Amino acid sequence: MIYLSIDHLVLVGLLCAATHWIVARSEIMRWFWSRTTGMFASLLECPACSGFWIGLSLGAAGLRPVAGLHPILETIVTGVLALYLTPIFEGLLVWGLRESAMTVEEEAPPLPLSKIPPGD
């Protein structure tokens, strides 16, 4: 019998998205991702591609949302699920960061009297 653990599925999505975001998009890792070239740069730019490899790593470490298969197959399934979950969870992460960002609205300086149109 094959089992799907929703808790592990969500955890894989969260870990993959957070890991990809920190490594490939965050300011603290800019020194790393700004210097990558070639195929590795392409891998970092694609959350689905990175998610597959991060998911394989998580599956190899034992975090597998699907149980009841051969362990190698469960690890591959984890990678494939992460391929789909990483962009979705990363989109939610970006949305949350945007919504929670603190913005300071500056008041526009008043117009000098000479610039005010007549009739106002």
pLDDT tens digit sequence for 5-42: 999 999 999 999 999 989 888 889 888 888 888 888 88
Q: CA-to-CA distance for 23 and 73, rounded, in angstroms?
A: 27
Reported as a pLDDT band with limits 50, 70 and 90, residue 96 is confident
Question: Residue 103: is its pLDDT beyond 90?
Answer: no
Contacts of 92 (CB under 8 A, 6+ apart): 17
Structural domain harbouring 41: 3-96
Going from the C-alpha of 27 to that of each of 24, 62, 85, the distances in angstroms are 9, 30, 23
Residue 111 lies in a domain: no
Residue 79 lies in a domain: yes
Count of domains forming the chain: 1
- pLDDT given for residue 87 in this prediction: 94
Residue 115, classed as helix, strand or coil, is: helix
Q: What is the pTM of this model?
A: 0.77
Do residues 23 and 32 lie in contact, with contact meaning Cβ atoms separated by under 8 Å? yes
Residue 30 lies in a domain: yes
- pLDDT given for residue 113 in this prediction: 60
